[in-house]
Amino acid sequence: MCKTINSHFINGAWVQESKPAALYLKNPATGLDNITLMLASHELAETAIQSAHDAIPTWQQYSSNERAEFINNIVIELKKRRTPLIDSIVNELGCPREFTTEVQVDDPIDAFEQHVQWTKDIQHEQVIDENLTIYKEAIGVCSIITPWNYPLHQLIAKVAPALAAGCTMVVKPSEFTPTSALLLTQAIEAANLPKGVFNLVIGSGRDVGPVLTTHPLVKCISFIGSTAVGKHIQSVAAGSVKRVLLELGGKSPYLICPTTQLESAINLGIEDVMANSGQTCVALTRMFIHESQFEQAKQLAKQSASSLSVGDPDTKDTFMGPVINQNQLDNISSAVERAKNEGAEIIYGGNRIDQTGYYYQPTVITNLPHDAQLAQQEIFGPVLVLFKYKTIDEAIQLCNDTPYGLSARVWSDDTEQSKKLARKIDAGQVYINGAFWHNAAPFGGYKESGNGRELGPSAIEEFFEIKSIIV
């Protein structure tokens, strides 16, 4: 059943847009009408910014322990909304229910909860000596702009440290996944955060983006999204020298050293890319295999990709659901068709799945030069490219040979060797062998994957101004 959403949250109250433009969202699993979204106007975004500005004196009266208590209350309220959060992400993104539960909902709530202690630990004042005291002061109003692929995680990764630091904010989630943002806002409302500290506008980047990124009262823009939009935001924000924190795209490498565990290494790489239908900024979409194991790796990759169950995200044991919408499906399809025309070898997949909804096959490709578009540009779909290398030095050079530097993985039978190689890769995070996500690990990119770090106590530091008082 198609529902209508016309809800924004400003100065502690739910408001409706009076003359809204509508966005019609389909259910990715069925292609049927799902949500009619009434988009915020730029006037509403301006009101939200003013509200966040007016709330600064109130919010800054609270100590870090008191802010930690508010954060703890939000976490309690979020836990009460766990099931609707899961339902919304399955419904709007098409992400399989089991993965949604663990990765899209439980994990970010856990990350939020860790901010309780990190907030208590904040030292706003540091006496260096009798002449010098250093103060950390909240930067002020933040515009938080997030994408759709891990909608709750991305909101929490920005909202939690901004609240912890004592900032007020206007939050604009992706217009393609509005409901998790509404549920987070309900949790914040129930936690009795002072009015105006947290404001939500659900609008398009085109309409409300310019207000959020250029308004003089906004002091910091914390953005997660594509590199193209991130570059645009950095340029428009330069006019008033705002702080700009960017978490952008990736084309992450997976370096497999010659190993006795090739099957485990390949299975992990396939599952990493195909999870969430490849719509993951850190997906390890370039796999590097030593020439001595390359033919075996191709066979194992084919076997692994063909074993994944693809289909309805609400069916138990589905590993891969649809991609989010027709546009995304078309982008993936045209990128793969172009690679085919360039002579790529399709090891597995390479086509749309002929059923209603937006489904693409898990796809494994090789025989492409490393400067091919599919090897260099983020596709944001279930597409992995395999490359062969002769020497480790060559492999490291290839790992670093894209504009991005978000994440990486090294697999070898020798952990110490892996750690040394990890230090040579340009990436904000490097995983060794089967290691998984860590909520306390600072996260962010080198090069065109962005700047600034989220998660971990150091993410809170991004939202401070530093003041030195010298006597």
DSSP class of residue 458?
H
Pick 77 or 426: Cβ nearer ligand NAD: 426
Judged by CB under 6 A, does residue 243 bind ligand NAD? Answer: no
* Among candidate residues 133, 161, 170, the one with its CA nearest the CA of residue 64: 161
Laid out side by side, the sheet with 464-470 consists of 125-129, 132-138, 464-470
Q: Which positions from 359 through 378 interact with ligand NAD, judged by CB under 6 A?
A: 378
How buried is residue 356: exposed, middle or buried, by Cβ count under 10 Å (0-12/13-18/19+)?
exposed
Out of 15, 183, 197, 248, name the contact with ligand NAD by CB under 6 A: 248
Nearest residue relative to ligand NAD (C-beta): 205
Shortest distance, CB of residue 213 to ligand NAD, whole angstroms? Answer: 5
Residue among 17, 77, 92, 247 that touches ligand NAD (CB under 6 A):
247
| Contact characters 204-223, ligand NAD, x per CB under 6 A | xx---x---x----------
What residues from 282 to 321 belong to the interface with ligand NAD (CB under 6 A)? Answer: none
Judged by CB under 6 A, does residue 233 bind ligand NAD? Answer: yes
Only segment of 8-16, 247-255, 348-356, 383-391 that touches ligand NAD (CB under 6 A): 247-255
Distance CA 446, CA 429 (A): 10
Helix (H) or strand (E) holding 366: strand 363-366
By CB under 6 A, tell whether 418 contacts ligand NAD. Answer: no
Choosing from 196, 225, 321, 452, the residue that interacts with ligand NAD (CB under 6 A) is 225
Per DSSP, helices labelled H in 369-414 are 373-376, 392-399
Q: Active-site residue among 175, 189, 247, 462?
A: 247
Residue 154 and residue 62 in contact, taking contact as beta carbons nearer than 8 Å: no
Nearer to ligand NAD, 170 or 347 (CB): 170
Of these, 380, 387, 411, 431, which contacts ligand NAD (CB under 6 A)?
Answer: 380
Nearer to ligand NAD, 55 or 170 (CB): 170
Q: Which stretch binds ligand NAD (CB under 6 A): 144-152, 306-314, 346-354, 394-402?
A: 144-152
Q: Is 247 a catalytic residue?
A: yes
Among 149, 185, 222, 252, binds ligand NAD (CB under 6 A): 149
User: Which tokens go with 143?
Assistant: 């515009």
Contacts of 14 (CB under 8 A, 6+ apart): 7, 8
Rg of the chain on CA atoms, in Å: 23
The Cα 165–Cα 163 span in angstroms is: 5
Q: Tokens representing 277?
A: 């239908």
73, 7, 65, 3: which is closest to 40 by C-alpha? 7
Name the amino acid, one letter, at 415.
T
Task: Let me know: does 106 contact 114? Beta carbons within 8 Å.
Answer: no
Residues that bind ligand NAD in the complex, under the rule CB under 6 A: 145-149, 154, 172, 174-175, 204-205, 209, 213, 224-226, 229, 232-233, 247-250, 281, 378, 380, 406, 445, 449-450
Catalytic residues: 247
